[in-house]
Structure 1
Amino acid sequence: MNDLKSRLKEIREDKKLSQSEFGERIGLSRSQISCYEKGIRDVTERSIKDICREFDINENWLKNGEGEKSLISEKDSILANALAEITLSDNGTIKEIIVKLCKLDEKYIDLVNKLIDGLMSK
């Protein structure tokens, strides 16, 4: 039986989070998450909203098991649109920059992001 408590646990395990880590992300204790997953306590409407917002989860899926589990976040939607525009563009330089960014180590990505923020603030 796939009920709300098992869907909640599924989200947490998909994100590879402990009950403590999961709870921290939505402002709840480890024991509260444990009670939700065991069905000892009913998941509050506020907790459902917080979980869906924090983890981009379809509320209808979490509550009822209907529809797709994940929602596309606003940031992902903006990124998808930007990449589509770049792909259709004739600007080879921007395409080259994106390809190079994808190959950079994580620490350099952070530096490039700070550089871009500095350039945009001027």
Structure 2
Amino acid sequence: MRNRIIELRKEQGLSQEAFAKKVGLSRNFINQFENGNRNMSDRTISDICNTFQINEEWLRTGKGVKESSADLDYGKICAKIGITDKKAKAAIMKYYELSPEDKELFWKFAERFLNMK
């Protein structure tokens, strides 16, 4: 796993410091991990996978495809939105509460809005 994380960091063109910042860690932690002196927690592994859309099985074992499928991770994406983006969470909750008729009106509006030139 250590080599795959180093590979991922380098593919992204990130220094240890920039990689650490993206996943909420210190550069020192990433340095120690890459040198074999620290281990990643399950939460940190999950955060790395979510941040870089990486398949967790691939990151842990090297098996399977590297990239994560957004459809398979829909629940994780929603959970992350709920934690990190209060406005998006509020919008999703409001949409969920709409009646079927209001949802249809919403999508008609959205389609017209998005097709405006």
Q: Structure 2 length normalisation: TM-score?
A: 0.59
Specify which of 39, 62, 67 is matched with residue 42 of structure 1: 39
- 1:70-109 aligned within 5 A: 70-73=67-70
Matched, 1:24 2:32: no
Structure 2 letter corresponding to 1:56: Q
Distance in 2 between residues matched to 1:73 and 1:55, nearest whole Å: 11
What's the C-alpha RMSD, in Å, of the aligned pairs?
1.6
Q: Structure 1 length normalisation: TM-score?
A: 0.56
Matched, 1:11 2:30: no
Distance in 2 between residues matched to 1:39 and 1:45, nearest whole Å: 17
Distance in 2 between residues matched to 1:73 and 1:57, nearest whole Å: 10
Q: 1:8 Cα shift?
A: 0.5
Matched, 1:51 2:48: yes
Q: 1:36 Cα shift?
A: 1.3
Q: Where does the alignment leave 5 or more consecutive residues of structure 1 unmatched?
A: 75-115
Encode CA deviations 1:81-109: one digit per residue, 9 max, x unaligned.
Answer: xxxxxxxxxxxxxxxxxxxxxxxxxxxxx
Distance in 2 between residues matched to 1:63 and 1:70, nearest whole Å: 13
What is aligned with 2:59?
62
Distance in 1 between residues matched to 2:27 and 2:70, nearest whole Å: 26
Q: 1:39 Cα shift?
A: 1.3
Aligned residue-pair number: 74
Distance in 2 between residues matched to 1:38 and 1:73, nearest whole Å: 32
